[in-house]
């Protein structure tokens, strides 16, 4: 087959490489010419395991090329997979501009008989009622007659996309039975995982919203437990680990907040369309409020934060991935600056120049200078053996991911975890497998 992948981000490019690995001709589309150039040179995002090798093999074999002209690539394709980000604004309203622009470009090149699949997470009904009409209007073709239309949610974690593509069933639903069948057959030809057809596109859309909202609610419950534990003088992580030995308990882990493209965004796709989403809305408030809670605990320990030098470790939204969409670090910076603290940021995945571009003051771990407090926001592997005790003036460490070995800290440094007291070992330390008890850094 000839497959057009529209959107070559941290999920779109691995998808393109996966399809090419099965011998299909893949045309990648992205509006960023730097991404297009990177792909055509056989390069890729370095943090995705196995991606660089797969992209290089596909490019050398002539099975993968990239371009900025989406309509041209679509005109050459039998199947079009759309994976353009859909985000929310500051008021939590959906911003459709990027994906609607991409859809107009797809419509301009759409040929009769093409299968179009949206993998971008969408509100329920959008494949059929929003994007179907746009494709029809721009192409002159009818969905279900002139072209096939389906939705299949991406269910992967950046950093291990290929592993997840093999592991999780591929859910797919079309706007008609024939589209469902075509999309299911397509995925069986490009993936090794089970393909799971559902009743229609709406069911497939809701599947992803249910998954992500469940995770958000679960993390919010863990965060509530952590705040209660702090108040009650017990260790939340030990209690959660003990509770999870019972097979009906699957409590996730507390943390300083939730970042990324998914969890801070997709629950709104559900909640904005119904009155019956009280739990989902509350979970968003709880998780977004954890940064404020962490700063308040720091303030309680240090007193007035004015002029205090506070270093945040990890600007990325989660460990070991160079991506800062909805990162909790940005919220921490804002809250600390509101209290007139002197805020510095370090991230082993970002250069000094990249931090400056984000209007952040870089923190030099090699020569840190006097520092009153450190806040661990992203538990990168590089921070595993970090000797915080050598930092001059350090009084407080806020472990936003409950990942620091507190035994490595000098007695003069106050350790503040999220729901932690005493010296109970942490079950999910930096670098541990967190599939069973998901970190609140999704």
Residue-level pLDDT at 423: 40
36 phi-psi bin (left φ>0, alpha ψ -120 to 50, beta other): alpha
Catalytic residue among 170, 262, 322, 352: 262
Q: How close are the terminal C-alpha atoms of the chain, in Å?
A: 35
Matching fold, domains 2-199 and 226-417: yes
Q: What is the pLDDT of residue 427?
A: 44
Q: Which residues pair with 64 in a beta bridge?
A: 26
What number of helices (H) and strands (E) belong to the chain?
Answer: 16, 15
**Domain range 2-199, its CATH number among 3.60.15.10, 3.40.50.300, 2.30.22.10, 3.40.50.720:** 3.40.50.720
Question: Is the pLDDT at 435 greater than 90, yes or no?
Answer: no
Per-residue pLDDT reduced to its tens digit, 349-376: 999 999 999 999 999 999 999 999 999 9
CB-count exposure of residue 247 (10 Å: 0-12, 13-18, 19+): exposed
Within 13 A of 363's CA, how many CA atoms are on the CB side? 26
208 is catalytic: yes
Here the tokens at position 193 are: 């995982």
Pairing of strands 94-95, 79-82: unpaired
**DSSP character string of 128-158:** IIIIHHHHHHHHS--BTTTBEEEE------T
Percent of the chain clearing pLDDT 70 (strictly above): 95
Give the residue-averaged pLDDT of 117-123.
Answer: 98
pLDDT tens digits, 38-87: 999 999 998 898 999 999 999 999 999 999 999 999 999 999 999 999 99
Residue 442: band (very low, low, confident or very high) from pLDDT cuts 50, 70, 90: low
Catalytic residue among 22, 29, 170, 208: 208
Are the C-beta atoms of residues 11 and 154 closer than 8 Å to each other?
A: yes
- Fold classification of 226-417 is Rossmann fold (3.40.50)
Burial class (CB within 10 angstroms; exposed 0-12, middle 13-18, buried 19+) of 399: buried
What share of the chain in percent tops pLDDT 90?
A: 91
Q: How many CA atoms lie within 13 A of 80 on its CB side?
A: 32
Helix (H) or strand (E) holding 66: strand 64-67
Domain coordinates in residue numbering, the chain: 2-199, 226-417
Say what the alpha-carbon torsion angle 374, 432, 331, 213 is, to the nearest 10 degrees.
-160
Residues with Cβ < 8 Å from 438, sequence gap 6 or more?
Answer: 215, 218, 219, 252, 253
pLDDT for residue 440 = 61
């Amino acid at each position: 087959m000839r497959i057009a992948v529209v959107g070559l981000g941290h999920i779109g490019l691995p998808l393109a490489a996966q399809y090419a690995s099965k011998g299909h001709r893949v045309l990648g589309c992205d509006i960023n010419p730097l991404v297009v150039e990177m792909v055509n040179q056989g390069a890729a995002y370095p943090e995705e395991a196995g991606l660089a090798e797969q992209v290089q093999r596909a490019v050398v074999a002539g099975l993968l090329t990239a371009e900025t002209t989406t309509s041209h690539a679509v005109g050459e394709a039998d199947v079009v997979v759309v994976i353009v980000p859909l985000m929310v604004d500051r008021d939590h309203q959906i911003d459709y501009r990027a994906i609607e622009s991409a859809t107009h470009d797809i419509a301009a090149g759409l040929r009769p008989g093409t299968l179009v699949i949206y993998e971008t997470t969408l509100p329920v009904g959008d494949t059929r009622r929003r994007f179907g009409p746009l494709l029809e209007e721009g192409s002159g073709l009818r969905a279900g007659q002139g072209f096939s239309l389906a939705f299949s949610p991406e269910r992967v974690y950046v950093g291990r996309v290929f592993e997840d593509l093999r592991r999780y069933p591929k859910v797919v639903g079309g706007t008609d039975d024939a589209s469902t069948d075509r999309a299911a057959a397509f995925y069986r030809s490009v993936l090794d995982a089970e393909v799971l057809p559902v009743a229609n596109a709406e069911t497939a859309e809701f599947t992803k919203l249910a998954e992500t909202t469940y995770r958000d609610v679960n993390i919010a419950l863990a965060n509530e437990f952590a705040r209660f534990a702090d108040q009650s003088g017990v260790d939340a992580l030990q209690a959660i680990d003990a509770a999870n030995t019972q097979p009906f308990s699957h409590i996730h882990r507390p943390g300083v907040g939730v970042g990324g493209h998914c969890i801070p965004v997709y629950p709104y796709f559900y909640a904005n369309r119904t009155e019956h989403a009280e739990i989902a809305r509350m979970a968003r408030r709880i998780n977004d409020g954890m940064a404020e809670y962490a700063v308040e605990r720091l303030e309680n320990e240090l007193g007035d934060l004015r002029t205090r030098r506070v270093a945040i470790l990890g600007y990325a939204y989660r460990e070991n991935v160079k991506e800062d969409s909805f990162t909790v670090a940005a919220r921490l910076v804002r809250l600390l600056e509101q209290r007139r603290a002197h805020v510095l940021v370090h991230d082993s995945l970002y250069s000094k120049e990249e931090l400056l571009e984000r209007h952040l003051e870089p923190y030099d771990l090699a020569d840190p200078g006097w520092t009153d407090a450190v806040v661990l926001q992203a538990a990168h592997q590089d921070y595993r053996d970090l000797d915080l005790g050598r930092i001059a003036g350090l009084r407080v460490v806020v472990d936003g991911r409950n990942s620091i070995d507190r035994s490595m800290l000098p007695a003069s440094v106050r350790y503040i975890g999220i729901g932690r007291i005493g010296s109970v070992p942490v079950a999910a330390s930096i670098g541990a497998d967190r599939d069973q008890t998901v970190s609140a850094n999704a």
